[in-house]
Amino acid sequence: ILNVEQSPQSLHVQEGDSTNFTCSFPSSNFYALHWYRWETAKSPEALFVMTLNGDEKKKGRISATLNTKEGYSYLYIKGSQPEDSATYLCAPSYSSASKIIFGSGTRLSIRP
Amino acid sequence: DGGITQSPKYLFRKEGQNVTLSCEQNLNHDAMYWYRQDPGQGLRLIYYSQIVNDFQKGDIAEGYSVSREKKESFPLTVTSAQKNPTAFYLCATHRGTDEKLFFGSGTQLSVL
C-alpha cells in the first residue's frame, strides 16, 4: 500500500491569517501530484496537478510547491477566508496509467 | 451537460444482499475510479479501470466487484461479503494521471 501522509490532520486558523500544510509521498518513480479541495456536501474539486521538481502553481490566494526528489509538496493559503474551510487532499501518481491514491487529508477550519 | 452521473444518491442494503452503484460519464475519459469515504477519513481506492474490459484492484477491493464493458460505464457491486459497507462512495474519471480527476456527486450507502 502506497504511503501518502498529510499533516497536520486538522487545522484551525483565524480569518485573515495565512497557513500551510504538507503532503509527503514516496519519491521513487514519481509522475504527478494532485491537490484537491473537498467542501462538505460537495464533490472534490481539483486545485493543482504538478509534475516538475521545483514547480510552483498558484490559484488566487492558494499556491503549491513540489519537491519530487525528496517527495513532498506544500499547499499555502494566504489571508484565509471562511470559504477556505474544507478538507484538502493530495494524491501522487507513478506513471501515466497508475492508480491515484489519496492521503487522509488536512481538515481546515477558519474562525471568523 | 458533460460530466459524471452517479446513482442513486442514497441506497440502503439489507443483510446478505448485493447492491450495485452506477457511474456513467460522457467526458470520453479512459480511466475510471471508485473510492470510498468513511466518516472523518480520506478517500480509499476500491477499484480502477484504465481501459474498457480491464480493471485493477485498489487497496480495499475485498467484498466489491466491478465491470467495464463500455467506456462510459463503471458500475460497482457491493456484495454480501463486504461486512461494513456503510460509507460514501465516489466515482471519478480522468484522461491521464497528469490530468485532474473529475468526480461524481456520490452515493451514500447504508445498511438496514
pLDDT in tens, A23-72: 999 999 999 999 999 998 899 999 999 999 999 999 999 999 999 999 99
Look up cell 501518481; give the residue: A93
The yes-or-no verdict on residue A96 having pLDDT over 90 is no
Q: Residue A31's closest chain B neighbor by CA?
A: B98
The yes-or-no verdict on residue A2 having pLDDT over 80 is no
Confidence class of residue A1 from pLDDT cuts 50, 70 and 90?
low
3-state SS, A32-80, equals: EEEEEEECCCCCCEEEEEECCCCCEEEECCEEEEEECCCCEEEEEECCC
Tens of pLDDT along chain B (112 residues) come to 569 999 999 999 998 899 999 999 999 999 999 999 998 888 999 999 999 999 999 999 999 999 999 999 999 999 999 989 999 999 999 988 788 999 999 999 998 8
Q: Which of A102, A107, A109 to mutate to test the interface with B (most CBs of B within 10 A)?
A: A102
pLDDT of residue B74: 98
Chain A residues with CB-CB distance to B90 below 8 A: 43-44
Chain A residues with CB-CB distance to B99 below 8 A: 49
Q: Is B2 on the interface with A (CB under 8 A)?
A: no
Average pLDDT over chain A reads: 94
pLDDT of residue B2: 64
Cα torsion angle, A83, B106, B98, B60, sign: positive
Question: Rg of chain B over CA atoms, in angstroms?
Answer: 13
A-B C-beta contacts closer than 8 Å: 63
Cα torsion angle, A106, A42, A3, B84, sign: positive
- Tell me the C-alpha distance between B1 and B106, whole Å: 18
pLDDT of residue B91: 98
pLDDT of residue B112: 84
Do B97 and A105 count as a contact with CB atoms less than 8 A apart?
no
Nearest residue to A108 (alpha-carbon basis) of A4, A5, A38, A27: A38
